[in-house]
Amino acid sequence: MATRTDSFGFNETKLFQVARDCSPDDHKHTQNLVDSKDDMLFVWNAKNCCILVLNWRAAASRKKDGLKHQTLIPSAPQNFTVEKILPSTDGTFLALAGPKGVSIIELPRRWGPNGQYQNGKECIICR
């Protein structure tokens, strides 16, 4: 009997295709590079040093036409390997942590019909 673990079908979305293509080949230990807060799903893109984000609730309700992910680009470069991402409890900040540093990113405001950041703008620079 087969079980389905991807009930929303996210494995076939562009977000996870990009995440698979950008994952490091030489990882030696566990990394927590995917996290969620409320209805937002955050994925660290190690190759391009940015965060891919998707409103999973809106994406699940709009399966036919699909909802594109957004790219959050930190304004300051990370001089360390990011091994964990952690959104704040109120969803206004995102911590990028690694063995040699921590960086806090302020998330932009969410607005618009799909509850995305800056009304669905594709690329957003974050402080």
How large is the average pLDDT for residues 74-84?
Answer: 92
Beta-strand pair 34-37/101-106: unpaired
Give the confidence band of 17 by pLDDT, cuts at 50, 70, 90.
Answer: confident
Residue 5 maps to a domain: no
User: Quick one: CA torsion of 8, 11, 42, 15, rounded to 10 degrees?
Assistant: -120
Contact indicator for 36, 55 with CB cutoff of 8 Å: no
Q: Return the residue matching tokens 């402080």.
A: 127
CA distance 50 to 6: 24
CA distance 88 to 74: 16
CA distance 17 to 19: 5
Residue 48 maps to a domain: yes
pLDDT digits (tens, 9 = 90+) for 30-75: 566 889 999 999 999 988 999 999 998 888 786 656 678 999 999 9
Task: Report pLDDT for 1.
Answer: 46
Greatest Cα-to-Cα distance within the chain, rounded to the nearest angstrom: 49
Other C-beta atoms lying within 10 Å of the C-beta of residue 82: 22
Contact indicator for 124, 70 with CB cutoff of 8 Å: yes
How large is the average pLDDT for residues 107-120?
Answer: 91
Domain of residue 78 covers: 10-21+30-125
How many structural domains is the chain composed of? 1
Residue 39 maps to a domain: yes
Burial of 95 (0-12, 13-18, 19+ CB in 10 A): middle
Q: Which residue has the higher pLDDT, 23 or 92?
A: 92
pTM > 0.75: yes
Give the confidence band of 21 by pLDDT, cuts at 50, 70, 90.
Answer: confident
Question: Quick check: 28 pLDDT over 70?
Answer: no
